[in-house]
Structures are given as structure tokens and as C-alpha cells.
Chain A
Amino acid sequence: MTDPRSLSPLDLDTPDKTFLDANELVINMGPQHPATHGVLRVILRLDGEKVLGLECVIGYLHRGVEKIAENRTYTMFNPYVDRMDYVAAVSNGLGYCEAVERLLSVEAPPRAQYIRVILTELNRIASHQLWLGTHALDIGAITPLFYTFRDREEILKIFEKYCGARLTTHAFRIGGLQYEAYDGFERDVKNFVSFVKPKIDEYEELLTTNRIWLERTKGVGVISGKDCIALGVTGPVLRASGVKWDIRKAQPYANYKNFDFEIPTGENGDTYDRYIVRMIEMRQSLRIIEQAVEGIPEGPIMAKVPKVMKPPVGEVYHSIEAPKGELGYFIVSDGSTQPYRVRVRPPSFVNLQALDLMCRDQLVADVIAVIGTLDIVLGEVDR
């Protein structure tokens, strides 16, 4: 048997030989498929149940967000970014706002920074909870989905109370915040922290030592740190492969350098390690939230920003650690009120490149597990 990694890229013209001879069977998964998390289409080339290679076909959800940006003012474009990774809308907004702030050379006041951190970390927990539920569902455990959605609801309630929206929040403004934290915001956040801590143990009880879960995830979709770096994979996937890279630590933004937290890493880079890493990340996020909510300073929530934003001519690349990995914004300003070009570096899109490598030589059922463990959001992949 030749090493499947040495095979040429998927050749879709390969004739579908007889099922028996089954050297190569080409199967189309998606775009309408329960396990592809949206409208991802995967063309699999199989030898029996073994994956020889696969190709992702994307673009079914393309809305031209980057192009739209060129015809909107900086302020007007802000809500659009929420629609990319819609399960982590707050993170998207944070990245965009900070990028434009850098372009304008302003900095949000400390109080705004703290509230931003709290909301972003809450959103990270929400994103991971959603990931856990759907991932477990893909592998066949249906119950965790309901547990996680129940607890995610509490986060969405806080969002709703804060800004009125639950999913596409548009929580931040360039230069700070639009809304002051409502009365009892701190109390709500503290309550949530104490509420969700035992719940995370509950998820782990269901899965972490479950024999079938271990068999389905250990050694599945292994990717080495080197390959991760070569492919540009970031986020929990990279960390599970043993690379300690988190932008919150590596290039601190907002005021993450004021908080004490750890970056979990895995060893084997398999699906199980990614699961563990995300579970620990949720706990670490709670740690950050606890510290942040204790230390919210008083003061203004909005920096001095001109009504009509005309950033100086120039360009800026700013990236943050979104729940799925490095989310970067590259904005070119030509001095007018509208950006000349906005380019988004979405973590899901980049991480999806690793799918082929991770699925080679695995079984079809593992493809499902691997898609789940990559934690992609098609809105962000296609933009």
C-alpha cells in the first residue's frame, strides 16, 4: 500500500470502480449533512472505510463581508463582523474595534477594557460550550448537548441584559463601549461563575473517563505541532499539539497582561487532547472573569473619538485570540471615512486546512469526529 500522504491531490475524475474492488470510492458529504456544522461540503476518497484523502468545498455561505467593508464607514461596518463567527460575536467585535483603535491611535479607557475582557471571556465559554455539545453529538453522545445549551443560556442572558442582543451582540464600539454596565452586572457575572463551575465538572463526568469516548477520541485526528505551525493552525488545536501559543500571552492585547491565567497544552495532538484543552480553557476563562470582575475600575467608558472617523493613511494588522484561534484584521486606510481594504484572518478557515492531513488514514467515522474537534463555523470560513 502506498503511503496515502504521497498521493496526488484528490482526483475527482477517478472512475468509481466496483464497490468490491473498492480501491477508490468517492463519496460526497454535505453540504446538507448533519455532521458538517453548516454548509461544508467534503469530498472523500475512500478505500473501504479508510480515508485516502479529502477535499473541502466551501463558499456556500459567502456573503462578501470583506467587500462590503469597503463601502461602509468604520462605524457602520462594526455590526457586520458579528456575523462571521456568530457563536463568538463578541470576540469578532473586539478584534475589529481594537484594530481600528490602533489605526486611530486611541486606546479604550481602562473601565471599558475590563468590561470587554469579561464579555469576551464569557463568549469564549459560550463558544466552547456550543462546540462541546455539537462535538459530542457528532460522536453519538446526545445528552451533553442539552447540558451545555442550558448553561450557555445563562451567558446569553447576561449579554441580553447588557446590550439587548443575544447572539450577534455588537457589544463594543470603536474607542470603548456604548453602554455602561447595567446595575447588578458584577453580581450576575459572579453568580454565573459560581453557577457554571460545577457544571463543567458535570460535562467532564459524562465524557472524560467514558470508555467509548476515549476510544473514539484518543489517537484520532492526530496532528503534530510542526504540521500545525506549517499550516498556520492556531487556537486550541495548536495548543493541544503541544505548542504553547496564545495571543493573550504572546502579544497581550486589551489588558490581558494584568490577569493571571495559564495556557493549557496537550501532548499528543489528538481529539482527546483538544477536548481536554478546551475544558481547561473554560476554567481558565472563569479565572480571568473572576479577577476582572473584582477589579473593574471606575471611569469613562469611551475614549475621545471623532464623530467622523478619518484614520490617517496607513495599514494595521491586529489579531486577538478568539475561541477558535487567532482572529486577525488587516485594515488599510486611505484617509477617507471608509476603509480601503479589510482583510480578515479567520481561525476557522485556516484550521480547516488541516482537515485533510488529520483525516488521512483514518476511518469515515473519524472524519466526523475531526470536523467536530476542529470547531469550525462556516460563517467565518466563507465570510
Chain B
Amino acid sequence: MHALVQYIESYLSSDKTPGTAGNWFWATVYVLLVFVGLSIAVIAMNWLERKILAHMQVRLGPMRVGPHGLLQPIADALKLLLKEDIIPDGADKVVFWIAPFIVVLAAFTVFVVVPFGPTHAITDMNIGILFMLGVSSLSVLGIVTAGWASNSHYPLIGALRSSAQMVSYEVAMGLAVVSAILMTSLNESSTGTLSMIGIVEAQKAQGEWFLFKFFPLGIIAFAIFAIAMVAETNRAPFDLPEAESELTAGFHTEYSGFRWSLFFLAEYSAMIAVSSIAVTLWLGGWLRPFPNLLHGTTWDLAFSFIPGIAFLLLGAMCFYNTARMPKHPLFKIQTIGLAGFGAVLALIGLVMFLPPVRERVGDIFWFSAKVAGFMYLYIWYRGTFPRYRFDQLMKVGWKVLLPTGLALLICTALWAMRSEVWTQVVVPVGMGFADFVRRLL
């Protein structure tokens, strides 16, 4: 028993990710943790999207299953699992089977390199960001095959649209990412890196988020990425592949039940994944706000209380709503449930005040909070924007984002090399010109 505790402690004090350390056991544990965490996140996201969207649209959203519809996602999941699994006649059965798995696999695999903290990643790859982009681009394959295998017009058009859209926006996305990677090489000691952890470390070392670096270049890059990532995940206002008024449901029109839920899962995981990339590249990943300005043990302590406080606030909200529940006997169970949920949240908050916990969950909390901000943006877009038309979408991708991205890349490079540019280009040319003018006179 003691040995086990010691083992865990020794691991927790390690400064390497399990993959880097080559520790199979811990790697497996991490994979499971990430998988479970991600599933919970998707479920929570499902509930939150419905609730937030509903409140934006002056309605209540799910209210029946559980207090404030908290159990709705679970009910949905159950329903989906129990539904009849329909494969259309004339569909290519094998491919129809495989397609959702490809999508889900691609969406989940990218989390192998997502750094929730300096050591809280499954592994740290030399080519981390490349791996993320590459694997997330594999989901296109799943979508195309899904659309094709359905043997129906709407899914096929949806799939073609979807793949064209994703391929197009990947280009702009890649350019934005490259300009961020360029910034990592400006560390005095480092030569630049593709590693996700390395990128965050570079931001820490350079003392600013890449969002604000080379103002306004960093912000432009981030904006390009932020637009491209919405398109990449087929979300509003770029949700053409599944525009229900035009194509019914796009590439997954013919899917139902469990396989449909896989697409659903993949979509939300992909949203979280691309948000993680954005957070890692531009928003300082797991770093808490102002790590350099407000440093020192006192500030560390102060910031380490924030996660606990946040959970306590959530718990308090639950209790407040419990008090507002109708006092009718029929609502008794719901009231109790909400109170219980609040209690669990509060308990978690309290646990987070414990020193060993609070020292380690800070990274994960900040990372998740930043990602959650992006998730809220996604929902907000959906509540506000109409849908682009396909030619307009392509126009935005190829005629606006791509040239901007190229110009941005060149500007970033020139800016990064400004001393060399000055000493090796501007000064010699200027001298030569001065010489020419002198001779002329």
C-alpha cells in the first residue's frame, strides 16, 4: 500500500509526460482519463449548448429530465444507444460501418498531444502541432466516406461540401499556425519547436502570449485561426454540410442511433481539439493570467484558490436555484437532485482548496477555462449568425483568409528577422544608394 502511494507520489512529482517517460502504465491511465474527461465534456457541452442557446432565444431549454434538464444528455445518450440501427438499402455496408469510427478515431487521437499542463499530457511529441493538424485532417476521410457510402444525393453533396470546406480552410489554418510557430524560435536559447508543450514554454519564456506578440500580427493570426477553426468543425455560420434547410442533415442524413451519436461525439471533440490548439498557440495554454507580472508565492497562492472558488460559485448557483424551485410535491425529487448536484460541486470546490490538489489542478483549470471560453463562442455564433452560402464561404476561405495568411506569414518573418533585415538588407542598400547619390553629385 505504502509502495503504491509512493509510486503515485513519485510519478506526480515527475517533470515528464508519461509518453516521454515511456511509462506504459501511466500512459494508459492518462488515455483513459482523457477519454472519460472528454466524454463528460461533450455531455456537458451538449447540455450547455442547449441551455445557453435556449436562453439566448428567450426560452428555457430542457427542463424535464432532471433538475433544469441536467440529466437530459444522459437520456439522449440512452435513447440513441437503444435506437434501431438502420443501414439504408444500397449503401456500401462496410464503408458505412467504418466511416463514423474513422471520424471519432481522428477526433480522439489528437488529444494524445494536447497539453493540459506541463506534465499533464499523454505524450509530448517532437512534431506535436503537426500531428494534431494531420490527424484532425483525417476526419475528412470519414466524412467523405460516410457521405459516399450512404448512396443518396444529399449526403453525397454534404460530404463533398464538407470536404471541400475543410480542405480549403486547412490551408489558411496552417498558415496561421506556422506564423505562431515562427514566434517560438525567437527564444534566446531555443531554436523553435513544434512540440505543444514547447510552444507554451516558449510563451512563458518570452513573457507574453503569442496573441499579443508582434502586435497586431499575433492577433491577426489568431483571428484567421479562430475563423478557420469554426469552418473546420462545420459549425455555424459555416455549417453548410449539415444545413438542414438545404441538405436535410448533410453527410449524416442516413445515419441513426449509435452511429449518429458517434458523429455527434466527434463533432464536439473536434471543437474542443481545435480550441485546444488555439489556446495552446495563442492564449498561453495552461498558464494562469499574468504569470510574469504577478509572480511570487503570494500571487501563486492567490491564483491557486480560483479553481476552488469557481466550483464553489457553481455550487452556490445550484443552491440558489434549488431555493427557487417550485414548492410543489411533484418537484421534490428534482429539488433534492439539484441540491445534491450543488453539494457535489461544492465538495469538489472544497477539495480543490487542499494544498496538494490545488497545486496540481491549476494548470488543468486554466486550460479548460480558456477552452470553455471558445465553446461559449461557438454557441454564441450559432445563436446569432445566419448561414453563409457555399460560394461565399469559399470566397472567404480562398480570397480573404489565404492571402491574409500569406501576407501575415511574410510580415511575421520579416519582423522576426528585423535586425538581420536592417543590418543585411536595409543598411547595405541604403549605403549603396547613398554612395550612388554621392557619385552622382
* A316 CB to nearest chain B CB (Å): 41
Bound complex: CA of A212 vs CA of B385, how far in Å? Answer: 7
A→B interface (CB under 8 Å): 19, 27, 33-35, 49, 136-143, 145-147, 150, 206-207, 210, 212-213, 215-216, 363-366, 368
Contacts of A34 in B (CB 8 A): 244-245, 248
25 A–B contacts from the bound complex (CB under 8 Å): A19-B156, A34-B245, A35-B245, A35-B246, A49-B390, A137-B245, A138-B245, A139-B245, A139-B387, A140-B236, A140-B239, A140-B386, A140-B387, A141-B384, A141-B387, A142-B383, A147-B57, A210-B386, A212-B387, A213-B386, A215-B389, A363-B390, A364-B246, A365-B246, A365-B390
CA A206 to CA B385, docked complex, whole Å: 9
CB distance A216 to B387 under 8 Å?
yes
Cβ-based interface call for B59 (8 A): yes
Interchain residue pairs A-B with the least CB separation, the first 4? A140-B387, A35-B245, A146-B57, A141-B386
Q: How many A-B residue pairs have CB under 8 A?
A: 76
A-B contacts besides A139-B245, A146-B58, 9 pairs, CB < 8 Å: A35-B246, A138-B245, A139-B387, A140-B245, A141-B385, A141-B387, A150-B58, A216-B389, A363-B389
Contact residues in A for B390 (Cβ distance below 8 Å):
49, 363, 365
Q: State the Cβ distance, A366 to closest chain B Cβ, in Å.
A: 7
Instruction: Please give, as numbers and ranges, the residues of chain A lying within 8 Å of B59 by CB-CB distance.
Output: 146
What is the 8 Å Cβ interface bit string for chain B, positions 230-258, against chain A (1 contact, 0 not)?
A: 00000011011001111010000000000
For B237, list chain A residues within 8 Å (CB). Answer: 140, 212
The answer to whether B417 has its CB under 8 Å from any CB of chain A is no
Q: Do B385 and A215 touch (CB < 8 A)? A: no
Q: B385-396 interface mask toward A, CB cutoff 8 Å, 1 = contact, 0 = none? A: 111111110000
Contact A368 B246 (CB under 8 A): yes
Residues of chain A within 8 A (CB-CB) of B57 are: 142-143, 145-147
Q: Is B204 an interface residue (CB 8 A)?
A: no
Does B56 have its Cβ within 8 Å of any Cβ on chain A? yes
Partner of A366, one of B236, B239, B389: B389
- Decide: B248 and A33 in contact? CB cutoff 8 A: yes
- CB A95 to nearest CB in B, in angstroms, measures 31
8 A Cβ contacts from B307-349 to A:
none
Chain B interface extent, by class = 20 to 34
Known A142-B383, A143-B383; judge A365-B248 contact (CB<8 A).
no
In the complex, A213 Cα to B392 Cα: how many Å? 12
Distance (whole angstroms) from the CB of B87 to the closest CB of chain A: 21
Closest partner residue, chain B, to A28 (CB atom): B153
Partner of B243 from A27, A145, A146, A365 at Cβ < 8 Å: A365
Give which listed residue, B53, B239, B245, B388, contacts A368 with CB less than 8 A. B245
Measured in the bound complex, the distance between the Cα atoms of B385 and A139 in whole Å is 9
In whole angstroms, what is the CA distance A276 to B221 when docked? 37
**Given A138-B245, A140-B239, A146-B59, does the pair A363, B391 have CB atoms closer than 8 Å?**
yes
- Interchain CB contact under 8 A, A27 and B386: no
Chain B proximity of A11: nearest CB distance (Å): 19
B 386-413 contacts with A by CB, 8 A: 386-392
A232 to B389, CA, bound (A): 30
The complex places the Cα of A350 from the Cα of B331 at a distance, in Å, of 53
Cα A33 to Cα B253 in complex, Å, equals 12
Min CB distance, A17 to chain B, in Å? 14
Chain A residue nearest in CB terms to B392: A215
Given contacts A27-B153, A212-B237, A363-B391, contact A139 B386 (CB under 8 A): yes
Closest chain B residue to A140, Cβ basis: B387
CB distance from A233 to the nearest CB of B (A): 23
Do the beta carbons of B245 and A215 come within 8 Å of each other?
A: no
Bound CA span A138–B245, Å: 5
Complex: how many Å from CA A260 to CA B69? 50
Q: What is the minimal beta-carbon distance from B96 to any residue of chain A, in angstroms? A: 19
Q: With both chains docked as a complex, state the minimum distance between the C-beta of A215 and any C-beta of chain B, in angstroms.
A: 5
Most buried by B among A143, A213, A364: A143
Inter-chain CA distance A215–B393, complex, in Å, is: 11
Q: Which B residue's beta carbon lies closest to that of A210?
A: B386
- Given the known interface contacts A27-B153, A140-B385, A213-B386, the answer about A147 and B243 at a Cβ–Cβ threshold of 8 Å is no
In the complex, whether B288 has a CB less than 8 A from a CB of chain A is no
Interface presence of B16 (CB below 8 A): no
Set of chain B residues within 8 Å of A145, measured between Cβ atoms: 57
Provide the bound-state CA to CA distance between A140 and B153, in Å: 21
Q: Is B382 an interface residue (CB 8 A)?
A: yes
Q: Taking CB as reference atom, which chain A residue is nearest B59?
A: A146
Chain B residues, Cβ within 8 Å of A364: 246
Chain B residues whose CB sits within 8 angstroms of the CB of A136 once the complex forms: 386
**How far does the Cβ of A232 sit from chain B's closest Cβ, in whole Å?**
28
Q: How far is the CB of A365 from chain B (nearest CB, A)?
A: 5
Q: Most A CB atoms within 10 A — which of B156, B246, B384, B391?
A: B246
User: Bound complex: CA of A19 vs CA of B391, how far in Å?
Assistant: 19
The closest CB in chain B to the CB of A217 belongs to B386
Q: How far is the CA of A141 from the CA of B386 in the complex (A)?
A: 4
| CA distance in complex: A137, B389 (Å) | 14
